[in-house]
Amino acid sequence: MIQLSSSEQHFINKLRCGPPGFEFSNWAGTFRSRPQFYLAPETENEIIELIRIANRHKLTIKAIGSGHSPSDIACTNSMMLNMDKMNRVLAHDAYACTLTVEAGVRLYQLHAMLQQRGMALSSVGSISDQSIAGAIATATHGTGIDFGDLSSFITHLVIIDGTGKRHECDANTQADLFNAARCSLGALGIITQVTIQCEPSFNLHAVQTPENLDSLLDDLSDVVYSAEHVRFWWFPHTDDAVVWRANRTTMEKQPSPESFLRDRLYGFHYYQLQLFKARFTPDDIPRLAREHFDTRFNRKIEWIDDSFTVFNLDCLFPQYVNEWAVPWENAAEALRQLRIWINAEARNPKGVRVNFPVEVRFVKNTADVWLSPAYGQIVCYIGVIMYRPYHKSVPYKKYWRAYEDIMRTLGGRPHWAKAHKMFYYDFVSLYPRFNEFVEMRKRCDPNDVFVNDYIRRHVLPPDHPLTRGASNDSEEDKQGHLLTFESANL
Ligand SMILES: Cc1cc2nc3c(=O)[nH]c(=O)nc-3n(C[C@H](O)[C@H](O)[C@H](O)COP(=O)(O)OP(=O)(O)OC[C@H]3O[C@@H](n4cnc5c(N)ncnc54)[C@H](O)[C@@H]3O)c2cc1C
């Protein structure tokens, strides 16, 4: 039982947010936790005071953004900091094309702040709900072989470490801390401010075309350079893919030609119902994939809009998701192996049926962000998803195991935000600076104030007192909350 002093109690009460007994859940609803204290600080000084309280009472702290990480990386049962009130613009340098903001700013707020000043992010992922600190904590990325992940856009940041000490760092000041902190999984401290390298605002011209997977894989080195930003989705159980290419343009906006009937009524409501029914008749899934592709994607479309609108897309339903980055020259091999596995499963009456396209994106070598999956290499991110129609479970674990085996043997590194089964020794061999990161964590957080289950499982070395005797299974593995579904494939 924690005995807070009356002034500590008063201070904490002032920052409380959320309903009593608040339960945190990530966006997909796959991980939950019940923080003892759910607080919304507004200033750095408040954060420093909370870290001191945590140290005095042996509490741990987790700052969260929008809770969009598909793993338990943002979960804690101790003290959770909602950073939504720290969303102000602090400085604008029009000449350098940078904006300094508080770290709780959501990306959609950031786009508006930038647009008002004639600037934009150079690359954005599929959504803009994340906070900037949450996004860089896991090296969130968009696509484009000449564009880095969001962590690589940060030119300066302020971080409060586990002793309550405030650090300002950039490429010249505390450079090691800077390069570790730009993708730090929340393990080094609480980031309160970031300066972001932007570019003048721009429209993007997107062209989306149906193409054959084999042709894409045979010519991948041409495909990745065929536009500034390229991504594609392959529809398992078919050889079809949809390629999205986008280039900067000075042409006027021509918004996306969305049809209510095709994209909303069929593409969302009817499709979700079909996916739900397919939980009981999985053999329908290959037919559904074909029908979905033919109805929505088997034609060329193009549109022009604000860059961030074109980068983003509708992610439809809750989902299980797994995504790894492989050196981009291994991408075609990875996709070919995945197709062989999925096709073999499709021939097995009890095999897995994959209900969502595989997403393929490219990211530039982000040479100096120690834990970026693109550290030292151009990467291809291959994302696998299984939809959860109406939040219901579907079998996915066998698929994940096969996918991870392929990615691991081809030199893959998992996306930090997504649930994975890679641990300390794996990362030591995958990331040349991983041990330095672990040392930096020890210096920044000597009392393990920022350690949650995710950090303990995946980052702490085996000789750390918190890892001894602890299981490497996540709550999901332990509770098996997904095992309510009847299929043997889970
Ligand atoms: C529908 C959907 C689409 C997505 N699309 C993409 C995509 O296109 N590309 C991609 O790469 N990823 C994508 N993701 C993953 C997402 O970008 C990451 O999970 C991101 O980390 C989420 O940001 P968040 O603000 O929700 O952070 P949270 O999930 O809340 O937290 C993530 C981590 O950030 C830490 N953190 C948050 N704030 C701070 C702070 N102020 N200081 C220190 N640490 C902090 C947390 O402690 C935690 O460790 C997607 C996820 C979903 C659900």
Q: Report yes or no on 171 lying in a domain.
A: no
Pocket test for ligand 1, best of 127, 183, 371, 381 (most atoms within 8 A of CB): 127
Among the listed ranges 56-65, 418-427, 480-489, which one has the minimum average pLDDT value? 480-489
Q: State the pLDDT at residue 211.
A: 98
Cβ of 133 below 6 Å from ligand 1: yes
Cβ of 33 below 6 Å from ligand 1: no
User: Tokens representing 377?
Assistant: 């290499």
| Per-residue burial over 118-150, b = 16 or more CB atoms within 10 Å of its CB, e = otherwise | ebbbbbbbbbbbbbbbbbbbbbbbbbbbebbbb
Cβ of 62 below 6 Å from ligand 1: yes
- How far is it, in rounded angstroms, from Cα 213 to Cα 403? 18
Looking at the CA of residue 83, tell me the nearest atom of ligand 1. 41
67 alpha carbon – ligand 1 mean position (Å): 7
Q: State the pLDDT at residue 483.
A: 29
Q: Report yes or no on 316 lying in a domain.
A: yes
Q: Report yes or no on 290 lying in a domain.
A: yes
Q: Ligand 1 atom 48: the closest Cα is on which residue?
A: 74
Q: Ligand 1 atom 33: the closest Cα is on which residue?
A: 134
Provide the strand spans (E) within 295-406.
Answer: 301-306, 319-327, 358-363, 379-387
pLDDT per position as a tens digit, 197-232: 999 999 999 999 999 999 999 999 999 999 999 999
126 alpha carbon – ligand 1 mean position (Å): 12
Under DSSP, is residue 197 helix (H, G, I), strand (E, B) or coil?
A: strand
pLDDT at residue 330 is higher than 60: yes
Q: Report yes or no on 12 lying in a domain.
A: no
240 alpha carbon – ligand 1 mean position (Å): 30
Q: State the pLDDT at residue 256.
A: 82
Cβ of 134 below 6 Å from ligand 1: yes
Cβ of 125 below 6 Å from ligand 1: yes
Q: State the pLDDT at residue 341.
A: 97
Q: State the pLDDT at residue 361.
A: 98
280 alpha carbon – ligand 1 mean position (Å): 33
pLDDT at residue 263 is higher than 80: no
pLDDT per position as a tens digit, 23-47: 999 998 889 999 999 999 999 999 9
Q: State the pLDDT at residue 475.
A: 57
Q: Report yes or no on 373 lying in a domain.
A: yes
Cβ of 144 below 6 Å from ligand 1: no
The pTM (predicted TM-score) of the whole model is 0.94
Q: State the pLDDT at residue 482.
A: 35
155 alpha carbon – ligand 1 mean position (Å): 19
Cβ of 247 below 6 Å from ligand 1: no
User: Tokens representing 120?
Assistant: 């934009």
- Bridge-based pairing of strands 61-64 and 79-82 is parallel
Question: By 3-state DSSP, what share of the chain in percent is helix, strand and coil, each rounded to 5?
Answer: 35, 25, 45
Q: Band of the pLDDT at 476, cuts 50, 70, 90?
A: low
Rounded to an integer, the average pLDDT of 114-133 is: 98
Q: Report yes or no on 232 lying in a domain.
A: yes
Q: Band of the pLDDT at 478, cuts 50, 70, 90?
A: low
Domain that holds residue 370: 203-414
Q: Band of the pLDDT at 487, cuts 50, 70, 90?
A: very low
Q: Ligand 1 atom 11: the closest Cα is on which residue?
A: 140
Q: State the pLDDT at residue 356.
A: 85
Q: State the pLDDT at residue 484.
A: 27
- How far is it, in rounded angstroms, from Cα 128 to Cα 106? 7
> Total domain count for the chain?
1
Looking at the CA of residue 418, tell me the nearest atom of ligand 1. 19
Q: Report yes or no on 8 lying in a domain.
A: no
Q: Band of the pLDDT at 394, cuts 50, 70, 90?
A: confident
What percent of the chain has a predicted confidence (pLDDT) above 70? 96
CATH number of the domain to which 292 belongs: 3.40.462.10
Cβ of 181 below 6 Å from ligand 1: no
Rounded to an integer, the average pLDDT of 51-74 is: 97
Cβ of 188 below 6 Å from ligand 1: no
Looking at the CA of residue 104, tell me the nearest atom of ligand 1. 41
Q: State the pLDDT at residue 477.
A: 61
Q: Band of the pLDDT at 474, cuts 50, 70, 90?
A: low
Full 3-state SS string of the chain: CCCCCHHHHHHHHHHECCCCCCCEECCCCCCEECCCEEECCCCHHHHHHHHHHHHHCCCCEEEECCCCCCCCCCCCCCEEEECCCCCCEEEEECCCCEEEEECCCEHHHHHHHHHHCCEECCCCCCCCCCEHHHHHHCCCCCCECCCCCHHHHEEEEEEECCCCCEEEEECCCCHHHHHHHCCCCCCCCEEEEEEEECEECCEEEEEEEEEEHHHHHHCHHHHCCCCCEEEEEECCCCCEEEEEEEEEECCCCECCCCCHHHHHHHHHHHHHHHHHHHCCCHHHHHHHHHHHHHHHCCCCEEEEEEHHHHHCCCCCCCEEEEEEEEEHHHHHHHHHHHHHHHHHHHHCCCCCCCCCCEEEEEECCCCCCCCCCCCCCCEEEEEEEEECHHHCCCCCHHHHHHHHHHHHHCCCEECCCCCCCCCHHHHHHHCCCHHHHHHHHHHHCCCCCCCCHHHHHHCCCCCCCCCCCCCCCCHHHHHCHHHHCCCCCC
The Cβ of residue 251 has, within 10 Å, a number of other Cβ atoms equal to 8
Pocket test for ligand 1, best of 31, 69, 167 (most atoms within 8 A of CB): 69
What's the mean pLDDT when you consider all of the chain? Answer: 93
Pocket test for ligand 1, best of 48, 108, 129, 130 (most atoms within 8 A of CB): 130
Q: Band of the pLDDT at 139, cuts 50, 70, 90?
A: very high
Q: Report yes or no on 43 lying in a domain.
A: no
